C-alpha cells in the first residue's frame, strides 16, 4: 500500500525566502504524484502534478517540484515566497496502474511573515 511522509509539519518563513517542503512516498510501482494547497478558508486545489516525462514539474504561482525516483521523493520548491503563499500544503501519491487510490501526507502548514 502507498504511504506518504511530509517531514515538515510547520514552516515559518519571511517573504522572499526560498522554500522547500519535503515529501517521500512508499510504493514499489509506477506512481502519479501531486501537491495540493489549501489556502485559509478555501477548498483544496491542485498545485502541480507529475504523471511521466520530465521529473521537474512546474505548477501554478511559481511552484515547482522534482521527482527523484531513486529517493522516492517529490519535494516542493519556490525560490521566493510571498505572504499570499501562507497555506497548508499536501503531498499525495497514487498508483499509475490499476485502481488509483489517492493517499495524502499529513500536510505542512506554511506561514509567511511580511
Q: State how far the Cα of 4 lies from the Cα of 48, in Å rounded to an integer.
A: 16
**Measured from the CB of residue 114, what is the shortest distance to another protein in angstroms?**
24
Please, what is the end-to-end C-alpha distance for the chain in angstroms? Answer: 41
One-character DSSP codes across 37-84: EE-TTS--EEEEEE-SS-SEEE-GGG-EEEEEGGGTEEEEEESS--GG
**Measured from the CB of residue 102, what is the shortest distance to another protein in angstroms?**
5
Contact region with another protein (CB under 8 A), list: 12-20, 59-67, 68-76, 102-110: 102-110
Interacting positions 34-53 with another protein (CB under 8 A): 34, 43-46, 49, 51-52
- The contact set with another protein (CB under 8 A) reads 6, 9, 32, 34, 43-46, 49, 51-52, 90, 92, 94, 96-97, 99-107
Amino acid at each position: 500500500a502507498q504511504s506518504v511522509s511530509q517531514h515538515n509539519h510547520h514552516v515559518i518563513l519571511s517573504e522572499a525566502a526560498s522554500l522547500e517542503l519535503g515529501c517521500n512516498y512508499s510504493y514499489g510501482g509506477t506512481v502519479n504524484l501531486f501537491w495540493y494547497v489549501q489556502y485559509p478558508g478555501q477548498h483544496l486545489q491542485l498545485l502541480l502534478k507529475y504523471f511521466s516525462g520530465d521529473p521537474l514539474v512546474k505548477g501554478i504561482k511559481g511552484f515547482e517540484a522534482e521527482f527523484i525516483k531513486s529517493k522516492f521523493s517529490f519535494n516542493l520548491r519556490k525560490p521566493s515566497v510571498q505572504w499570499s503563499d501562507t497555506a497548508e500544503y499536501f503531498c499525495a501519491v497514487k498508483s499509475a496502474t490499476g485502481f488509483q487510490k489517492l493517499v495524502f501526507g499529513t500536510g505542512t502548514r506554511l506561514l509567511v511573515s511580511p
